[in-house]
Each structure stands twice: as structure tokens, then as C-alpha cells.
Copies of this chain bind each other. A is one copy, B any other.
């Protein structure tokens, strides 16, 4: 198993990425082989300093970097030797089994769609976030920003992808799926939610439990919550800010500490044919470690194969 990692992506690259590798290697008995993408001259001293065993990785020289604010499509086209472009090239050629980057999110989405393609039958891939719940469990919210405008069928597909992710990665058997909405009863909501409800209700691949409101997001009403990426992104960033507020207010609380989204690593891009994980720009070592662990789990469980089978059977 090979996992490619963009060592130049994120605000604290490559130092925190290297520290993340070290944490990962210390936590697993059977680590994946790691392709480290970045400027060899820059990377080598960090890897040496951290005493990463040379047998565990190979540096793939990628001297260019796509900045956090560059235009995704333009940058990917012009910077063929960037760590992100090289990562997608390797993934599409089958040289690696997964690709991880905490770099430019837009470039990661564009690369996912154009280099490795969406799965057959999938209209739009999606990104998600885990949601810490008060009962100690973890839920999933999607989409959180890849699709600012959605059609009802998009939400229906997100529900299937999210349910499979919840089942195989989060370990939730028969996950309950809810539609984010502004009322409890069927028929409530905006045009999109009203139209998505009957699709979800008649979808035999999921266990649909109806609408979930803003007040239910942190409760255990649903394991998987679907919405368009506008609302989802607002909810995600609001939840992130709640954590920051608790820190500034010196609140030490086990539940709110789980709002430290960095701990969860990144978000997988669901609906594309191979595992791609996008990290937060501010990812530290623990986030990198968790992203590598997540990539490994996605490969080991053949999540992508299960998702493909699910859409083929439709």
C-alpha cells in the first residue's frame, strides 16, 4: 500500500507534515509506504532531523508549490511540477493508492474531479466534516463547501456516500441519515429541501429518519446529515469558531475539546474513484498523522470499491 503526501501544503509545511509522519509511523505496526512530494532539498534536512527511517518513504521531487490563494484550475495547469499536480498524476497512474494534501482546497477539488474522475453515476463529489456529538459518538455532515448550489439528486447521492463512510470508516452500523432543514415535518424548508425529502425517503440504500434542524446537529438524532455546501460550510466554520471561543474563554470541557477539528485530520473527497484527503490549511502534526491513518483505513476497507458498487447497482 502506497500513500502520497503533499509535504508542501498547509501553513506549517513541511515541518508539521514531517512531524505528522513520525507520529504516524510510531502508531502503526504495518505502515503504508509513503511517497513524500515536495522540494527534495527542502525536505531532506527535516526528515533527517526527525529521524524518519529512510526505508519508510521515497521523496518524489516536486519543486513547485501552489499557493493557498492561487486560482485552482490555472495553477494546476501551469504548475505541472507542483506537489499537488504530481500527487494527482501519481494517483491517476496507479503509482499511489491515496493522496493527501493540506494545500489549496480548490486545487485539490479540481484535481480530484479532472485527474482521477468522479465515480460512474456520481453527479458531484462532496466533502464532509465529522461532527462531535454530546453522547460521545461522531456524526458526519456533508456537503461542507464543494457544492455551494445543489440539486435534490446531489443531496440524495451525498446521503449514500455519507452513509457508507459512516458505516465503514466511523464504524456506525446502519447509520441514520437526516436532511438538514428548518422544520421537522415533510414539506418544510426551502425548495431544495422540499424536493430532496421524497428522494431520500424512497432511497432504499439509506436509513432516512427525516429532517434535522439546527438544534439537532450536535445531538444523536442523525448520524449522517446532508445539505448543500453553503449551509454546511457555514455550520462547519461556526463549529470551528465555537472551539476557538472556548479556548479564549479558558473553558476546559471534554465535549467542547472535541470541537478541535484539527484532531480529525482532513476531509476525504467522496464520490471520486480513489482516496483523496484534503487537510485544513492550519494542519499540525496530529492532523497529518490522522489524515494518513484515514487514507490507510479507506484503502484497507476498500471504501471506494463499496461506493462504486453502490452506484452501479442503481
Contact = CB atoms under 8 A, between A and B. Distances in A.
A37 to B, nearest CB: 26
21 contacts: A134-B248, A145-B182, A148-B182, A148-B191, A149-B191, A180-B234, A182-B229, A182-B237, A190-B228, A213-B233, A213-B237, A214-B238, A214-B241, A215-B244, A217-B241, A227-B234, A238-B238, A245-B255, A245-B256, A249-B253, A249-B255
A251 interface: yes
A182 B127 CA distance: 14
Q: Report, as a range, how many residues of chain A touch the other chain.
A: 35 or more
Interface string A197-218: 0000000000000000111111
A46 interface: no
B213 A234 contact: yes
A250 B196 CA distance: 38
A148 B196 CA distance: 15
A158 to B, nearest CB: 16
Interface in A156-200: 180, 182, 189-191, 193
A40 interface: no
A307 B216 CA distance: 36
B249 A237 contact: no
A253 B239 CA distance: 18
Interface string A75-111: 0000000000000000000000000000000000000
A211 B243 CA distance: 22
Main secondary structure of the interface of A (DSSP, over half): helix
B233 A182 contact: yes
A215 B231 contact: no
Contact of A256 (B215, B218, B240, B249): B249
B237 A238 contact: no
Contact of A214 (B214, B234, B245): B234
A182 B234 contact: yes
A108 to B, nearest CB: 15
A111 to B, nearest CB: 19
A236 interface: yes
A218 B191 CA distance: 28
A189 to B, nearest CB: 6
Contacts of A251: 251, 253, 256
A34 B98 CA distance: 68
A215 B238 contact: yes
